[in-house]
Structure 1
């Protein structure tokens, strides 16, 4: 575990390097930055799912805990989208990552990725998101209800145990951490009040874009927002899955993301079976 000072915060960062046999001794591997979602999420959701396959494909992988989450510092205020994008910008500078990056985001992490790309389109080679939408008014309007519901539910003794009986201990830790960040910071107030990028800046994102949704998730209903802004984006659905598709079906998400990265970015990819349906 390493701590990096960026944007005035101590940020917890984990990195995976590609195997020597993949990247080569003298090559410069591209960098994939993995961004998790709000409240009930940390970098562990990526570490335990796609981080290793991405490194095996020849990428330098960077994961970090968002402000207020995991092992990253928790300031009482400063949780707008701009704050999260500022953190990402400062973290890349602190890690001396100067070339184009591949951004992968889960839930609100994908929104951060789109926000960064709207600000720095020249820095982003591709965006792959899971259960996410670009930062639009329609998306932000949904977040307060979800955060309020989460905050109201977490104090209960059952705190998310039914999500997956095999992960009760880990989910319990996440529930306690989510309860604390929602109770002790301005996150619930700041995120819905975030300043949105101009839609023309979002529409100008020209890099390859992939958006993956669970077939039973309400977030997938916002896919038309993606198509409206980014008609070149590929939309993929994992049937029967909800918002937790990344953690519940990591193999299915991997089998979508890895071939797409190979096709869109020319990266090495294993022969994964494509377990998705294009919309």
Structure 2
């Protein structure tokens, strides 16, 4: 593990080189995949125990990091707009000396960060995978703003934590208590919905996008619109799964992400230098 200065904070990052956890080291330059976790109850650990080692074993350089305010990354009192999260990622790649276009895979809010990065740094982006995520458009800002405001009101009450413990177990209750502390001690709830957005027509997203959803999640309804609006978009809906599809079906998500990255890395490898792949 390592900590790298990224602007006003220090970011915790873990890297797994291609073949570092088994598997053959690939010939030529491998793709680099950056895994971005979700908001409040998440950290890079969710990728470490699902996608990270598998991607490395399949011959991909893999980067996992804790978002600002999460895990072992610094938690400033302010500075939680989407553009802050995107700039953190750009500075992290700079700090790692990573100049290859990256394949971004983001879970939940991590998918929104990945889409924002692709919109504002298209030259540094190879592909985007959103796992139960949404692009940063106005409707998303309204929904997440309402959800964060509700969480901030409720998670300060011990009765709410007890309710979560009874229905979802002690581990989820601990994560929820920690989420309440983040919301109580930072401006995250106000900042996230007030951040920079992209146009509703998604014209800013010019890199290939793969959107994965659980069939029982309300987010799956956006799949047809994504395919209609984006030039190169693929969607997959896993029946019987909800928002936690990454944790519930890690092998299936792993296979889908591997196929997507391999396909596009091979395509980029065949693209002449200077052309957009």
- TM-score, length of structure 1 as denominator length: 0.86
Contact kept, 8 Å, 2:31 with 2:265, in 1: the verdict is no
Q: 1:199 to 1:112 in 2, by over 3 A?
A: same
Counterpart in 1 of 2:37?
A: 36
Matches within 5 A, 1:126-141: 126-141=127-142
Counterpart in 2 of 1:104?
A: 105
Query: For this pair of structures, how many residues does the alignment match?
Result: 262
Distance (Å, rounded) in 1 between the aligned partners of 2:233 and 2:227:
7
Distance (Å, rounded) in 2 between the aligned partners of 1:30 and 1:23:
12
Distance (Å, rounded) in 1 between the aligned partners of 2:250 and 2:217:
16
Counterpart in 1 of 2:25?
A: 23
- Quote the offset at 1:204 in angstroms: 4.7
Distance (Å, rounded) in 2 between the aligned partners of 1:228 and 1:177:
39
- Give per-residue Cα distances to partners, 1:74-108, cap 9 Å, x unaligned: 01111111111111111110111011111010111
- Give per-residue Cα distances to partners, 1:217-271, cap 9 Å, x unaligned: 112223344234314211101111111111122122123222222333339xxxx
- Quote the offset at 1:117 in angstroms: 0.9
Contact kept, 8 Å, 1:134 with 1:226, in 2: the verdict is no
Q: Which runs of 5+ in 2 are unaligned?
A: 268-277
Q: 1:77 to 1:230 in 2, by over 3 A?
A: same
- Dislocated runs of 4+, deviation >6 Å: none
User: CA-atom RMSD, angstroms?
Assistant: 2.1
Counterpart in 2 of 1:211?
A: 211
Q: Which runs of 5+ in 1 are unaligned?
A: 268-279
Matches within 5 A, 1:118-157: 118-154=119-155, 155=157, 156-157=160-161
Counterpart in 2 of 1:176?
A: 177
- TM-score, length of structure 2 as denominator length: 0.87
Distance (Å, rounded) in 2 between the aligned partners of 1:30 and 1:258:
11
Contact kept, 8 Å, 1:7 with 1:91, in 2: the verdict is no
Pick which of 81-90 and 220-229 moved more. 220-229
